[in-house]
Amino acid sequence: MVEIFSIIMEYWRDDAMDQKEIQKMRMKQLAVMNFLVLAALAVYYICSSVFTIRTSLFYLAFGIYFVIFAVIRLIKTDSTKSMIPLLEKVAKYEKEKLGDEWYRRRKFEAVLYVILGVLFLFLSFGSGKSAENFFSKPDTLFFIMYTLFFLLMVNILTVLNNQKMDHSTEAELKGFARKSLLVGAAAALAFAIIIFQLILFYVFSQIN
């Protein structure tokens, strides 16, 4: 009886340790994600301030990037490799946790990247080559508000997504890939609408 009790207690300690390790990994994941987003936005802000960027080339670069990323994702569906060791660790954990849903999510993401790539390519070809089609330096205050709001949305979605994944069994995670991508797409649409309204409000406030 004592041996059985000790085995149960050891199991609970190991499970608690696993949960702590997962929480630490998720916190580091959030930190890396925020750093990458801030770095990308900072590069955009600096480049748009220093260089004259034609919108057609900007859209073309994004279109090519998304298409190439989608092709790589489809070719290496089973791969968890990443240039950042922490993200590779997260990918291995999620692959083991989700099972078949992990592969479905990878395929859904690849399709989404293809759609985004094609959309940006159409924008590139449709933006024209006139002298007016250039990115100008963004307003600093508006850019800061945009960055903070974007980070808030991304962090909330990531935390909710991770909480659902980490505290559910594989059976409970059935259909998780489709649901998470639908929620992400809805949030992105809501974000775009809010940003568009903020832009209109800012433009009209500047006019008045």
Q: Is residue 31 over pLDDT 90? A: yes
CA–CA dist 165, 149 (Å, integer): 24
Q: Is residue 34 over pLDDT 90? A: yes
Of 110, 112, 117, the residue nearest 77 (C-alpha): 110
Q: Is residue 13 over pLDDT 80? A: no
pTM score over 0.85: no
Report the first-to-last Cα separation within the chain, whole angstroms. 80
Q: What is the pLDDT of residue 38?
A: 92
Domain ranges (residues) in the chain = 2-207
CA–CA dist 95, 43 (Å, integer): 32
How many CB atoms lie under 10 A from the CB of residue 207? Answer: 6
DSSP string across 111-168: HHHHHHHHHHHHHHHHS---TT-EE-PPPHHHHHHHHHHHHHHHHHHHHHHHHHHHTS
**pLDDT tens, residue by residue, 124-170:** 777 655 545 556 667 787 788 888 888 888 898 889 888 888 888 77
Tell me the H-state helices in 51-135: 55-75, 85-98, 100-126
